[in-house]
Structure 1
Amino acid sequence: MITETVEIDVRYAETDQMGVVYHANYLIWCEIGRTSLMGKLGVSYSAMEESGVLAPVTNVNMNYKAPARYGRKMYVTTWIESYTGVRVTYGYEISDEKNNLCMDGTSEHVLVDKKNFRPLSMKKHFPEWHALYWTNQK
């Protein structure tokens, strides 16, 4: 299983008046982690979209454990939790610089045709990506 960890500096604009990161920003950080993992695997999200395939989010689960705060460094670790050939679930852990787990969760994505949003098989449309995802899931 391959993982990818990305460092993020918490910006003031991502926080509320208490200096705590607003919960929706974790989704953005997960996207950063996910696209970085894909890049590490040699999978290009932009190439996928250019070929007429999208990967919309179908489910998100986030468990908030401790507050992420302004001025800290955060570490987003991402991996492939599960993969079926059509549906992929990414796993995430977001920790601070003191190694406190702030959030863990998953996001589920399905490959679809850009024109009609019908599900597509990664094995059929991107066989090399299929092999990478199949062998690198948890």
Structure 2
Amino acid sequence: MHTTKVRVRYAETDQMGVAYNVNYFVWFEVGRTEYMRDINIPYKALEGKGIFMPVVENFCHYVKPAMYDQVLTINTKIAELKAATIKFQYEILNGVELLAEGYVRLAFTDKNMKPINLKKVDRELWETLNKYCEADE
């Protein structure tokens, strides 16, 4: 599990200080990007190899609203790894209080958005990602 912190900015909220629902997907991306950077696989390096990861599915279950100026914790994990897709799961918390949970599934593609088999294209990268995968048994 990887942890990242973000502060809810004024621009992310409505007049009552409640964060707009779409921001949770932005925070998911922050968690995913920082996770990948921390395991030494930054997106820029992937794209330099011609490997892209477009979102193909996402889901968020909202439990409680995030409010202006709260410091949120984004917990991120790789929940599933297949040859052509990867699924990240997230929890967004205010302290210990769960605000939202969800997932994003991404495909592995070339620069033309044609799906690729990561196991065949870059076995070392696939093995590294697999090492971090925390799939439920």
Instruction: Report the TM-score range of the alignment, normalised by the length of the smaller protein.
Output: over 0.9
4+ long deviations beyond 4 Å: none
> Aligned residue for 1:12?
10
> Aligned residue for 2:131?
135
Tell me the distance in 1 between the aligned counterparts of 2:125 and 2:51: 13
> Aligned residue for 1:106?
103
Question: CA-to-partner distance for each residue in 1:88-122, whole Å, 9 max, x for gaps?
Answer: 0000000013x11001000000011112x211122
Tell me the distance in 2 between the aligned counterparts of 1:103 and 1:87: 23
> Aligned residue for 2:118?
122
> Aligned residue for 1:35?
33
Tell me the distance in 1 between the aligned counterparts of 2:27 and 2:53: 17
Letter in 2 for 1:103: A
Tell me the distance in 1 between the aligned counterparts of 2:75 and 2:116: 27
- Stretches of structure 2 that go unaligned for 5 or more consecutive residues are none
Letter in 2 for 1:102: L
More displaced, 120-129 or 50-59? 120-129
Give the Å deviation of 1:135: 2.4
> Aligned residue for 2:22?
24
Give the Å deviation of 1:75: 0.4
Question: CA-to-partner distance for each residue in 1:39-87, whole Å, 9 max, x for gaps?
Answer: 1211121111122221100000100000100011000010001011211
What secondary structure does 1:53 align onto?
A: coil
Give the Å deviation of 1:124: 2.2
Tell me the distance in 1 between the aligned counterparts of 2:100 and 2:63: 5
Overall identity of the aligned pairs, in %: 33
> Aligned residue for 1:74?
72
Tell me the distance in 1 between the aligned counterparts of 2:59 and 2:79: 13
Tell me the distance in 1 between the aligned counterparts of 2:57 and 2:106: 7
What secondary structure does 1:54 align onto?
A: coil
- Stretches of structure 1 that go unaligned for 5 or more consecutive residues are none
